[in-house]
Structure 1
């Protein structure tokens, strides 16, 4: 055996160069993470192309995240029981096929079904990628391999919105999904040719089969029902008048029943689909909540900022994506810096710093007004770009403190579930709040526009005079003036509603600070890979 190489029988790369495996794993991971952000900027095109509202188009993001989280729950057991290579190939194959189907979707319903399939495929790729890298390299080289993997997971969300915007403007939104086709086939072929299950993984699979260990199907279905039903309630509640709708009542009952049933079931199983006992540990429970808050802010703003600048400021999809690019670049730099800081500073203090930067970014956006410039939005995203890696990487490190080695797979999966579920809930709640506050501000402003008021009459007179000077006859000029006043009212309503959403998100960021302060100290100098 060559120096610095693992025994081929114990390596996921076998006799092949492990860096080939690392590159393919990074490519597959890059493709999967890219799809969590590439569609955000294209939502306006998707909304127009499928003739649905912006709130309905946002389901394209939330359904993917929920399906992704559901698969994460099962990924560890499925890889051990049926083989890491087989499950990874299945995941890439399903993700690739469903991506192409998304590109050819003929309706919103079809697109959502294919996005669920895509999320189910993508959810199994991230945790397996980390295990494959760990089993392909000796300990002294794993840091370099995870560095390559780390580049993929921070660059993908950084360029996703810009790439999605350019594709939408110059090709069509369908290509945001179709580009995964050739990349997925390429990755699938290489993984089939290069990847193998290490000897210890084969022996573990045989042991599980010999002992008759089975997947907790009931627990998995209860978790899936809970997450899926909750998301339907959050996505559809505002549009269906909440509990005035039989649909919402039905799914609310499903949410409560599945939640109540899954707790005793999961706590009493020997091999539960989700180890809820982890959430009984203060350290891990705090990290779980912090990760949910982080996912809610990151993913909701990745969709809301492009939506805001396109709807209210006339930005193209490409320019809307470019608004997020400076923050993405700063995220990459901050990730590298955090790698050094994590060996010197306790995670709790890095989380406090990260939450503070994210809170500043959200607060900065509450100063929104009609003449806000490109750099107004980009600067707020830069603050987030500094804070996001401090939150993500430090939460992952802190979450392992006090856990047994046998719990690390479940802990990693649950932290990723927290990020996805938090992101999905963040998008839904922000969208609901935007709609509710728009109605609220609209009713208040309409009350203040009284035709007999001198201020209104003066504004109408000046606007009518303006349109008269620009070619409109008497009645037409007044009609244009009234329409202009209405458009100004609508614009102001939109600004105030978005400001309320950003205030809410700044409060969410602030809640992470007291949670971080009660975290225990951890041994510094370790490393944690996180997706």
Structure 2
């Protein structure tokens, strides 16, 4: 009897009934590939527009500050709909909801490509975010219901390739399309891929019998969407996303805009906790987050999202701003890491059925921490391959975190709560990514000020080092012609430029050090996870 109970809780393969799965009579590995196509397309759009922002701002005649909302609007909408995706899928049908999201995502992607001004682009990006937010967790649920527990690790390896590699491919593809064609193609390419994915899902994926029975039960009982809970969660997450994204730009609490959103965010959070904890069918099952197993997985996924999104955004920015890389070459610097990640996903998929998840996660977090530490060695002479190798190291570590944490998060979760678990894990990844970017932005800004103030202390006429540098620079510019006065002015400007460059390098070093600490924090969290039945 105890073995049966353990299997029912997700610990053994004996509890799995293939007839109840989403694959039906089809090969479950084919289902894994099909849902991963749509997931890859959705996650790709979280980063593909990052390197195209300067093209967007130029074409639509808006400032860079306004253009950044193209990224923010997508993330906010994505995080909000994640909370409701579980209930909507159960109440109205998982396959029906998934196909609806896929159709809306494809249509809104095409609309983004034909946007005529910033307002229309933001509207279509919000619709795209809403649709995308429903696709990823349902994809995970389809996988969880298509494979027995002892095979889920290998299935999530294919899914993990989409989620982890897509943000890496995004900057490369977006940069190449923007440099050689137009930023519009960053969105238009989703059209044919979306149509293909829609056709394949329609033909191959079926509604699990357990899901059909659950939908009928909810309908008989008259269970409705927790509208109040959804509004509170949406307000909390939406406000948090805006605060994290706009805080640094608007000088945090010196801005009435940020103060207002902070008040709204705190009030929504304080009201959300008691409301959700007392509902029979809450929009967000906070009790799951409070458990040792799932709560630890939630926090580790936040740290993973922080590392993945922050490095994907800041490395291309560093390469374009201070190393003279084009958008295409900045994206290519991340590509070797993406290839390593794909190979490692398959290896880790095998390992996950042999080694306890907590040991794999701890190892992966330690490798990523070492990769972040390696990036602190950057200097003005760093080459393309220095950054490419750093990304390769990250590519070795992230799969060791991502696949086991996804597998471990389902351990002990009953079948009827797999959609809820998927939604929460993806909320953790999105929110963690926003927090990681916000931390990196703040470290970069504050440490630039710090290092500049320290370096400027030595750039004074009485300093022997300054005098020597001035003399050498003046002599160099004099040899180029233009007269003594002009040479001296150019020497002063050159010294100022060098101070700014050194300030930036040191600030980026501090950013990577902070990300190293975030990765290290995931190690003890991983080690407190429970042992699972492999």
Q: Same fold (TM over 0.5)?
A: yes
1:36-68 per-residue CA deviation (whole Å, 9 max, x = no partner) reads 232333345445555667676555444433322
Distance, in Å, in 1 between the alignment partners of 2:339 and 2:153 is 22
Distance, in Å, in 1 between the alignment partners of 2:332 and 2:233 is 37
> What does 1:180-259 correspond to in 2, within 5 Å?
180-189=190-199, 191-192=201-202, 197-198=207-208, 200-259=210-269
| 3-state SS, counterpart of residue 283 of structure 2 | coil
8 Å Cα contact 1:225-1:254 kept in structure 2? yes
8 Å Cα contact 2:153-2:350 kept in structure 1? no
Which residue matches 2:351? 341
Distance, in Å, in 1 between the alignment partners of 2:248 and 2:166 is 32
Distance, in Å, in 2 between the alignment partners of 1:268 and 1:229 is 23
Of residues 309, 332, 337 in structure 1, which corresponds to 2:319?
309
Which residue matches 2:99? 89
Which residue matches 2:4? none
Count of residues paired in the alignment:
518
| 3-state SS, counterpart of residue 249 of structure 1 | helix
Stretches of structure 2 that go unaligned for 5 or more consecutive residues are 1-16
**C-alpha displacement at 1:478, in angstroms?**
2.1
Which residue matches 2:464? 454
8 Å Cα contact 2:410-2:421 kept in structure 1? yes
8 Å Cα contact 1:55-1:431 kept in structure 2? no
Structure 2 residue 400 is the aligned partner of structure 1 residue 369 = no
8 Å Cα contact 1:62-1:428 kept in structure 2? no
| 3-state SS, counterpart of residue 112 of structure 2 | helix
8 Å Cα contact 2:155-2:349 kept in structure 1? no
| 3-state SS, counterpart of residue 42 of structure 1 | helix
**C-alpha displacement at 1:268, in angstroms?**
0.3
8 Å Cα contact 2:167-2:309 kept in structure 1? no
Distance, in Å, in 2 between the alignment partners of 1:23 and 1:92 is 15
Structure 2 residue 504 is the aligned partner of structure 1 residue 504 = no
1:275-305 per-residue CA deviation (whole Å, 9 max, x = no partner) reads 0001221222111111101110111101100
* Residue range with higher mean Cα deviation, 448-457 or 119-128: 448-457
Structure 2 residue 312 is the aligned partner of structure 1 residue 299 = no
* Residue range with higher mean Cα deviation, 107-116 or 141-150: 141-150
* Residue range with higher mean Cα deviation, 278-287 or 107-116: 107-116
> What does 1:89-108 correspond to in 2, within 5 Å?
89-105=99-115
Distance 1:397 1:132, change over 3 A: closer
8 Å Cα contact 1:38-1:160 kept in structure 2? yes
Tell me the TM-score normalised to structure 1 length: 0.89
Distance 1:11 1:380, change over 3 A: closer
Which residue matches 2:363? 353
1:48-105 per-residue CA deviation (whole Å, 9 max, x = no partner) reads 5556676765554444333222222111211121122331222112212222233344
* Residue range with higher mean Cα deviation, 202-211 or 226-235: 202-211
**C-alpha displacement at 1:368, in angstroms?**
1.3
Which residue matches 2:11? none
1:285-334 per-residue CA deviation (whole Å, 9 max, x = no partner) reads 11111110111011110110011001000001111111111111111111
Structure 2 residue 470 is the aligned partner of structure 1 residue 491 = no
Which residue matches 1:42? 52
Distance, in Å, in 1 between the alignment partners of 2:262 and 2:384 is 41
Structure 2 residue 242 is the aligned partner of structure 1 residue 266 = no
Distance, in Å, in 2 between the alignment partners of 1:180 and 1:519 is 38
Distance 1:455 1:40, change over 3 A: same
Distance 1:106 1:456, change over 3 A: farther
8 Å Cα contact 1:34-1:156 kept in structure 2? yes
1:235-276 per-residue CA deviation (whole Å, 9 max, x = no partner) reads 222232222221111111001100000000000000101000
Which residue matches 1:282? 292
Structure 2 residue 449 is the aligned partner of structure 1 residue 439 = yes
Distance, in Å, in 2 between the alignment partners of 1:11 and 1:337 is 25
**C-alpha displacement at 1:357, in angstroms?**
0.6
Tell me the TM-score normalised to structure 2 length: 0.88
8 Å Cα contact 2:101-2:132 kept in structure 1? yes
Distance, in Å, in 1 between the alignment partners of 2:254 and 2:168 is 41
Distance 1:404 1:200, change over 3 A: closer
* Residue range with higher mean Cα deviation, 356-365 or 447-456: 447-456
Which residue matches 1:387? 397
Distance 1:142 1:393, change over 3 A: closer
| 3-state SS, counterpart of residue 472 of structure 1 | coil
Distance, in Å, in 2 between the alignment partners of 1:12 and 1:408 is 13
| 3-state SS, counterpart of residue 124 of structure 1 | helix
Distance, in Å, in 2 between the alignment partners of 1:135 and 1:279 is 22
